[in-house]
Amino acid sequence: MAELSYQKREVALRQLETAVRLFQERKDPFSVITLAGAAEEILGRYVKAAGKTNSLQLLNDAALAIQRIEGDEMLVNVVDRANYARNNLKHLDGPEDHVSIDAWQEAKDMLTRATDNYWLLAACRT
């Protein structure tokens, strides 16, 4: 079998398309999270490479701004929280073998971020 070369942007788009289809069919939120999460990360890196701010950074910046307005002394980075479901579904770190999440909400959130990166990247090309 021949080894072929694949452009990562195209792979990310295929992952995003599959995640959207699974979400619309209400099938397997865990696959939606991991597929959309992979697409979100790759597309987000392309957005950043184009000199723009990706969806995860925009989310984090907004959360930090709200925390400052509210007068929170300890500013919390929301990146770990935003990626909690995806990372916990991909890895077995430590002895805990369960993850407690609202799977469909996490799927929706990850799809939103991945789709935002798709549109941010599209805007970079125009």
pLDDT tens-digit series, residues 101-113? 999 999 999 999 9
CA quadruple 61, 120, 111, 92: dihedral, nearest 10: -60
Q: What is the CA radius of gyration of the chain?
A: 16
In terms of phi and psi (left: phi > 0; alpha: psi -120 to 50; beta: otherwise), the region of 71 is left
Inform me whether the pLDDT recorded for 118 exceeds 90: yes
What stretches of the chain show up as alpha helix (H) in DSSP? 8-24, 29-49, 55-69, 79-82, 84-90, 103-124
The token duo for 84 is: 């909690």
Distance CA 11, CA 116 (A): 17
Inform me whether the pLDDT recorded for 75 exceeds 80: no
The token duo for 94 is: 């430590």
95 pLDDT band, cuts 50/70/90, is confident
Range 65-89 average pLDDT = 85
Range 74-78 average pLDDT = 75
pLDDT, greater one: 50 or 75:
50
> What is the per-residue pLDDT for 71?
83
Inform me whether the pLDDT recorded for 70 exceeds 90: no
* pTM confidence score: 0.89
Inform me whether the pLDDT recorded for 94 exceeds 70: no
The token duo for 114 is: 């991945």
